[in-house]
Structure 1
Amino acid sequence: GQPSALEMKHLLANLFFALLPPSRHTVNRHVVIRCSAPPPIPSVDVKALTVGTIVAGRVLGVGEDGSYELDIGTGSPATMPRSESALLPNATRGRVPGQGYADLSAGEVREALVVGVAGSQVNVSVARAQRALAWRRVESLHRADVSYNATVIALADAGATVEVERLPGFVPWSHWQLPEAAWADRKALLGSRLPVKFLEVDAGRNRMVVSHRRHAVQQRLDELSPGRLVSGRVAKLVPFGAVVRLADGLEGLLHVSQVSRLYVQNVSEVLTRGEELTCVVLKVDLADGSLALSTKMLESRPGEMLDDRAALLARSSQIEGRVELRQ
């Protein structure tokens, strides 16, 4: 029969608390409802169900075919493959990323997404319901532009994969500012926590790109404001300038046009990899966490960086506060 008003009140209250959004430093969790005296699942007209509908389902057990059976209030148990019972960031089944296995106990109530309706038979997926909710949380975090403590779950040549709300996010190596010593043994980073900020979130394309660099820069805005002096080593030479790595691993670009007030055609003729440099912060881009650096702002005369660098660097070490930026 229909549940009483009191039973409906208990069920809705449990659903409300289970779906409260997490804090920015959440410990990721499954949406599980446990009641000492569980109310019945509200009755649902199976004819009103369509693919994509979110329903509450109580686990009844495992059927003869190995699938879970859930009471979703239609009068007939809904079925769910065991591979659809959890959202896992590094598991993929078919074309939808994230489906994985979990041991569900009889009596557990979980949200499930309807993936198929044929007469009275309904197929559901807990993983896809969790995935839809996770994307909504990530989109909310992205809009709020907060930092999130992600977990490193995989490493590749181009970057690392991290877990954000049980979804996979990609961190390009250029956006993970590692200290020099950490590059030698990057495998030790697996399982570690990494604070990141979002660069791109696109649920429709299953795409999430995050940046540790954005987080690191925003934590150091006072010391990285324009005109401040920073010290580091030349990590890489590129056709358009030099990448300077600071002591904590944060990197900035010294553009070839910012090396000296005299024209420099090829930065490799002026700088060498591993060379120590003192630079002036020219600009901080909060959108991607990039740093623009300059040495020409330290010159007392055009070309000093080219023909008397030792004197320039010695004088720079005595500077306190900010350098006035010139055009």
Structure 2
Amino acid sequence: MDEFKDDLEKSFKKINEGDILKGTVIGVSDTEVIVDLRYYAEGIIKLEELSNDPRFSIKEDIKVGEEISATVLSTDDGHGNILMSRKRADDILAWEHLQEDMDMKKIHTIKVAQAVKGGVITYLYGIRAFIPASQISIAYIEELEAVVGKEIDTIVITASAEDNKLVLSGREVEQERAEKDKNSRMSKLQKGLVTKGIVEKIVPYGAFVNIGDGLSGLLHISQISFKRLKSPNEVLKEGEEVTVKIID
């Protein structure tokens, strides 16, 4: 009874151009989507008003039963229906979501759509986004075309509706994950552990030793030998295997 009352009240609610309404998809054709607005008239969204994403497919990306939001373009299309645009609603709502996602550092898995000068293009919430070449990955990307079609975990690093500027970064996601992984592995190392390692680099104050599993530590010059050394080079060389003890 209460649900019927709600539907009745909504059916008499005044709808104006520019309103953003939510409805349920009840029909999909090659040229348009029909939306149940729980109103006396149905909503019609033409194909060209569905998405800005060039990869969009009306048959694959829109399903009967799903809820979508759209902006009212006209309260009467000449056939008693409400003409709507999901693109315009997406543009308004997307920037709000993007700002929130940037603040929360929410991770989005995107698919690279196109390589351009200086980076690649993708789409997030229907908004065209740019990923600079330096922000695609920690690893150097020599051929940008090689990442087209691939999925990348990214975060939003710039979101400006005023400038219509959306920039993403995959590099920052990789860096944070690598740091967490490194900290996790380091937490498992116990003080006093004796292990073998490879001298990676010699510096005036000691040497950096790779102890495996992606971890390196500083072997201070004062800890290299019982005798006083002027330079680590007196007893060590890069690439040499050494036995070390973790003291801190």
TM-score by length of 2: 0.57
Deviations 1:204-228 (A, max 9, x none): 4332111222223223337999xxx
Query: Which residue of the partner structure matches residue 99 of structure 2?
Result: 139
1:171 deviation in Å?
Answer: 0.8
Distance in 1 of aligned mates of 2:151 and 2:92: 24
Give matches, 1:227-242, under 5 Å. Answer: none
Give matches, 1:17-56, under 5 Å. Answer: 42-46=10-14, 48-56=15-23
- Which secondary structure does the structure 2 equivalent of 1:89 belong to? coil
1:56 deviation in Å?
Answer: 2.3
Size of the aligned set, in residue pairs, is 195
Query: Which residue of the partner structure matches residue 88 of structure 2?
Result: 128
Query: Which residue of the partner structure matches residue 37 of structure 2?
Result: 72
- Which secondary structure does the structure 2 equivalent of 1:6 belong to? helix
Residue segments in structure 2 that go unaligned for 5+ positions in a row? 184-200, 204-232
Contact 1:59 1:109 in 2 (8 A): no
Amino acid at match of 1:90: P
Distance 1:41 1:71, change over 3 A: farther
- Which secondary structure does the structure 2 equivalent of 1:209 belong to? strand
Distance 1:122 1:202, change over 3 A: same
Distance in 1 of aligned mates of 2:83 and 2:9: 17
Which of residues 140, 148, 154 in structure 1 aligns to 2:108?
148
Distance in 2 of aligned mates of 1:53 and 1:125: 9
1:74 deviation in Å?
Answer: 4.7
Contact 1:196 1:211 in 2 (8 A): yes
Distance in 2 of aligned mates of 1:41 and 1:126: 24
The two structures, once aligned, show a CA RMSD in angstroms of: 4.5
Query: Which residue of the partner structure matches residue 200 of structure 1?
Result: 158
TM-score by length of 1: 0.45
Distance in 2 of aligned mates of 1:173 and 1:135: 23
Residue segments in structure 1 that go unaligned for 5+ positions in a row? 10-38, 92-99, 226-276, 280-310, 322-327
Q: What is the percent sequence identity of the aligned residues?
A: 13
Distance 1:196 1:108, change over 3 A: closer
Contact 2:114 2:120 in 1 (8 A): yes
* Greater gyration radius: 2
Deviations 1:237-291 (A, max 9, x none): xxxxxxxxxxxxxxxxxxxxxxxxxxxxxxxxxxxxxxxx989xxxxxxxxxxxx
Contact 1:44 1:73 in 2 (8 A): no
